[in-house]
Amino acid sequence: MVDDTQLAETVTDEGHLASHGEPSAAALLGRTLGGRYHVFEFVGAGGMGEVYRAHDRELDEVVAVKTLRPELAMRPALVERFRKEVRLARRVTHPSVARVFELHNADGTRFVTMEFVEGEPLSDVLARSGPLPWGLAARIGAEVARALEAAHAAGVIHRDIKPDNVMIRPNGHIAVADFGIAFSLEDPTNDLVGTPAYMSPEQVRHERTGPSTDLYALGVTLFELVTGALPFEGDTAIAVMVARLDVAPPDPRARQANLPEAFARLVVKAMAPSPADRHPDASSLAAALEELASSFAEQAPLAVRPRDLARDPAPTVALAPFVEAGPEAREVLGAMRDELLLGLSTVEGLRLHLDDHEALRSTYGIVGRTISAGKRLLLEVRSREADEVVLSGRFPLEAKVIPALADFVLDGLALSASTRRRAREDIGLPPGAIEPWLRARRVFRRTFALDDGESLRLYERALSFAPEHAVLLAGHAMALVRFAFFSTAAPPDLDAARREIQRALTLAPNRPEPHIAAGHFALHAEDPVSAARHFRAAVRVAPGWPDGHEWLGRMLLEAGFLDDARARLEAAMAREPELYVLRWELARADGLEGRWGEAKRQIDLLERSEGQRLGRPFGMLRLALWSGEAEWIRQAVSDLEARLESGVFDPDLCRATVAAVRGDWGAARETCIAKGLLEPHASQRRSAFYAQVLCDLASAAGDVDVALRGLERAVGQGLFDVHWYEKSPSLRALRADPRSRELHATLRERAARIHDALYEG
């Protein structure tokens, strides 16, 4: 008989059994790859390469780094195939899937970053405990099937489902790992990929594989879970593969006589030789397993043996919010904090902690508070371990001291941590430009729903003192673009914004502000995929700076990648408390997902930060409409009507929307069509937004022809808001119309390209 190690061998893409062997050396330990991933623990080796744990400096979290062996990395066709597989796999987002993040080529190493799952492989649990209780086996199988359902919906098949690739988390739930050999459903190749004991007959025959291939492997896994053995035997791995071609799948009751008949039938059906005889899809198999699981007494979750995980030895620093004596200090303190966040990335090997819990365990803490009646800042760097101040300084609360303050802290940290720091680009503003710049950046970040051009005027004043300053040019360009979205007067000159951005990028390519400005411009006047690349570049040059994470998060939300988006937005708010306005974006996303309790919690937190009722009546009415709550809708209509004469975004559109909400689509239709289809705008994002509003109102009124025209207009203006289209309750009638399918496909394809651009390594 073939032994377990033979059965665990994996067939490579060339049809040979791979020898995983021992790693040559844990060569990456202690290195920081691409200036982002600090590698601190070797985990193991596989057929593709070595696996490490690393700290992601951008998001302050631990990830898995999986390398591509040098001899494989030298094969361009294989690398391109690997790149394609990673792009597919990272689109799979589900609680039961171990996420795949990015493919990189940095410092001479090709590697992919993935979610690091704490826990234990299901294969280890089986080896230790033997067959599982029926109910527990059914529950685990159902979770795997739901993970496959999500993968198949994204156009991805796994092709190597087995207990080794099912991780049991400490809470007992599972994560399907190693989507590294996933293929597009449209991929015509039929390479032999998988593990012999779990291969489907079509894999063995080199026939076309598909979702049913994964269901077969899950059937084999279920057989193993309830019997403790594999269904097919042979003297060699090849014999085991061939065995399934000649005989019907065995009944697991031959080994476990007490197994319920319904469970046995399900396992045999999943292992049917012909894909046509298996379950039609992962969803139906999951539902059958869930029904089975509910028929058994509830089982305690699997006991997982915790792995002794190493801690990242790199020194860490936490930057606490500065304590201010009054609101007049906020602008200077915010600028000081920004420069420190920018500069911390220049201290080599130093980790920035943002999570409150982790910050308590950081090596160093930077704390600041205003003294001398709010005229000076006392800044201290404390060593947590020694419980002492290792650096202390008093600075005038003036923007002109920002460069000296940043250098003082960063040089002191580098010395205390026995490390080095790279050169930093100073802000270097002349005195007259400082005050309007501080106010402009604060107004721009805090502007929540309506921009009357205040930040634009402030940047113009600052530029009068420093017309060739990159940060001011970038800020002014962003203000121009923002004003183009909100202004109902003559549109601003966006060509001027383009020229300013190009000049800023030339003057300061290593500061984030020009890249953020370029992303804003592309989002409103060019291409959203280009915008994604610019925002990604901003994060790459300044991982600690909040605005890059903000805009990555905003784009990911609209593209429908909610978990990734939430991580970015939370990172932005942790870095910059003034960005609490992002809670509105989270509330919108939660509402579209039907989590109205969480959406209202985010709105409540936002109103507490504002200290008043939320000044976004039109947006609040859209949320209320999606919720379907009559009282909320009534209150939102009342609030919007009360604001019509005191400054709202496009009063005519607001009046038409109120009429439509009250059931008079006839009165609203002409205005909504004019706004959504006919009005020209300098900002294509504004045009798309008007068309979205038209879609919602027309579809809800049953006017699907007009809604379809609105969708065509929005997509033509660069819309990529897949989340809105797929989840808005107002769009049910539009989504049901077959004519919308092609536009939906365009939206999904555009969102996928944006996701790829955001994750280019």
User: Which DSSP string do the residues of 101-143 spell out, in sequence order?
Assistant: EEEEEETTEEEEEEE---SEEHHHHHHHH-SPPHHHHHHHHHH
Our CA angle for 616, 515, 756, nearest 5°, is 85
Model pLDDT, residue 452? 63
Strand partners, 105: 110
Cα(758)–Cα(555) distance, integer angstroms: 9
* pLDDT class of 20 with cuts at 50, 70, 90: very low
At residue 5, does pLDDT exceed 60? no
Closest-CA residue to 551 (of 513, 602, 500, 607): 513
* pLDDT class of 565 with cuts at 50, 70, 90: very high
| Phi then psi dihedrals of residue 523, to 5 deg | -65, -35
Length of the chain: 761
What is the token pair recorded at 696? Answer: 């919602």
At residue 711, does pLDDT exceed 70? yes
Mean pLDDT check: name the lowest of 114-118, 407-411, 455-459, 511-515: 407-411
Mean pLDDT check: name the lowest of 35-44, 225-234, 395-404, 501-510: 395-404
Model pLDDT, residue 358? 54
Radius of gyration of the chain (CA): 29
At residue 17, does pLDDT exceed 50? no
- One-letter amino acid for residue 75 of the chain: R
Average pLDDT in the 38-66 region?
84
Q: How far is CA 78 from the centre of its chain?
A: 27
Given the residues 160, 451, 547, 756, the one annotated as active site: 160
Model pLDDT, residue 14? 35
Cβ-based neighbours of 404, under 8 Å, separated by 6 or more: 395
Cα(708)–Cα(737) distance, integer angstroms: 9
* pLDDT class of 466 with cuts at 50, 70, 90: very high
**Burial zone of 368 (CB within 10 Å; 0-12 exposed, 13-18 middle, 19+ buried):** buried
What is the token pair recorded at 248? Answer: 């019907």
* pLDDT class of 8 with cuts at 50, 70, 90: very low
CB atoms within 10 A of CB 351: 20
pLDDT in tens, 648-669: 678 899 999 999 999 999 999 9
At residue 52, does pLDDT exceed 80? yes
- One-letter amino acid for residue 521 of the chain: F
What is the token pair recorded at 316? Answer: 């860490």
At residue 32, does pLDDT exceed 60? yes
Q: Give me the domains of the chain, ranges plus CATH numbers.
A: 8-115 (3.30.200.20), 120-294 (1.10.510.10), 316-428 (3.40.50.11830), 527-758 (1.25.40)
Model pLDDT, residue 348? 66
- One-letter amino acid for residue 62 of the chain: V
Average pLDDT in the 616-639 region?
94
At residue 432, does pLDDT exceed 90? no
Q: What is the strand order of the sheet 166-168 is part of?
A: 120-121, 166-168, 174-176
Cβ-based neighbours of 287, under 8 Å, separated by 6 or more: none
Task: Tell me the longest C-alpha to C-alpha distance in the chain.
Answer: 87
What is the token pair recorded at 558? Answer: 């609209």
At residue 190, does pLDDT exceed 50? no
At residue 162, does pLDDT exceed 80? yes
Highest average pLDDT, of 275-279, 328-332, 564-568, comes from 275-279
Q: What 3-state class would DSSP assign to 73? A: helix
What percent of the chain lies above the pLDDT cut of 70?
Answer: 86
Highest average pLDDT, of 20-34, 64-78, 159-173, comes from 159-173
Mean pLDDT (the chain, rounded): 84
Q: What is the strand order of the sheet 351-353 is part of?
A: 351-353, 316-319, 364-371, 376-383, 388-396
* pLDDT class of 193 with cuts at 50, 70, 90: low
Model pLDDT, residue 93? 83
- Residue 160 is a catalytic residue: yes
Model pLDDT, residue 325? 62
- Structural contact between residues 135 and 299, judged by C-beta atoms closer than 8 angstroms: yes
Helix H or strand E encompassing 82: helix 76-89
Closest-CA residue to 347 (of 322, 319, 379): 319
Which of residues 441 and 270 earns the better pLDDT score?
270
Model pLDDT, residue 734? 98
pLDDT in tens, 595-627: 999 999 999 988 887 665 556 889 999 999 999
pLDDT in tens, 218-229: 999 999 999 999
3-state secondary structure 178-192: CHHHCEECCCCCCCC
Closest-CA residue to 554 (of 588, 591, 514): 588
Cα(300)–Cα(317) distance, integer angstroms: 40
pLDDT in tens, 245-262: 867 899 999 999 999 999
Model pLDDT, residue 154? 86
Which of residues 326 and 562 earns the better pLDDT score?
562
Cα(127)–Cα(104) distance, integer angstroms: 35
At residue 11, does pLDDT exceed 70? no
What is the token pair recorded at 657? Answer: 């929307």
pLDDT in tens, 327-374: 667 777 877 877 787 777 667 667 776 555 455 567 888 888 888 777
* pLDDT class of 399 with cuts at 50, 70, 90: confident
Cα(115)–Cα(99) distance, integer angstroms: 5
Task: Output the pTM of the full model.
Answer: 0.79
Average pLDDT in the 687-714 region?
97
Average pLDDT in the 579-603 region?
94
Mean pLDDT check: name the lowest of 31-40, 550-559, 591-600, 713-722: 31-40
- Structural contact between residues 220 and 243, judged by C-beta atoms closer than 8 angstroms: no
